[in-house]
Amino acid sequence: MSQWVSGKITEVNWWTPSLFSIKVAADVAPFQAGQFTKLAMTIGDKRIARAYSYVNAPNDPVLEFYLTEVEGGKLTSGLAELEVGASIDVEAKANGFLTIEESPQRDVLWMISSGTGIGPFLSILADGKVWDKYQQVILIHSARYNNDLTYQDFIQAHEKLFKQFTYLPLVTREEPEHGLQGRITELIKQNAVADYFNLQALPENSHFMICGNPDMVKETSQLLQELGFKRHRRSEPGHISVEQYW
């Protein structure tokens, strides 16, 4: 049975008219970067809970979550109305295996995300364990428009601090200000992603962590398997780890 704790909203940040993040003070159990928990509210006469990844590092006392206001969404419509000082329930124990601790030792780590699926990767970057485990760390974030490519100050600061880190933004519905235009699957098929990093192909000694839109997660995972990479399991180390909690 889930154990819930009461949290207080300490900050609300609207990145775009539909993308926002909230910071919450709550006494949750220790978690690993990349994991998710659940947020819950009572709306009308119904209690509604949904899973969201932690954006903050595990040692940060303030919790952060990155959200999309979905039109007609049962929970996000309520979350979007929260103000500083409001209460929200947080599941105390985190879940999920999209973590550095669960990932195999490889040369290159690819963190592939779309939309708010970038959240767990921001937590992993902030946590810092990734820098000791991988020689090269690549964050790919796909969004519809340039304005949807959020957390730029955080990302740029890490690019300056860690020479092994590279960020590749993808935009699907307009010309990109930086990075590439197109869906991640098509860009991999066209070898455009490899070309961007001056590679002939995606390195064999790579690990891929994928989080975001369920269709993107499924299609990218299938494509990588067609290219010879294997799903990662504890019993059989592979190359692909995914997170789908909606």
The label of the residue with tokens 């960020």 reads 167
**Dmax (CA) of the chain:** 57
Where helices occur in 41-106 by DSSP H, the ranges are: 76-79
CB 35 within 8 A of CB 102: no
pLDDT tens digits, residue range 167-214? 999 999 999 999 999 999 999 999 999 999 999 999 999 999 999 999
pLDDT on residue 245: 59
Both structure tokens of 205: 């000694």
Task: Please determine, for residue 1, whether its predicted confidence score (pLDDT) is greater than 70.
Answer: no
Question: pLDDT for 44-92, tens place per residue?
Answer: 888 999 999 999 999 999 999 999 998 878 898 899 999 999 999 999 9
User: For residue range 219-237, what is the model confidence (pLDDT) as tens digits?
Assistant: 999 999 999 999 999 899 9
Q: What average pLDDT does the chain have?
A: 96
Of 224, 231, 156, the closest CA to residue 184 belongs to 224
pLDDT band at 2 (very low <50, low <70, confident <90, very high): confident
pLDDT of residue 71: 80
Strands 4-14 and 87-91: antiparallel
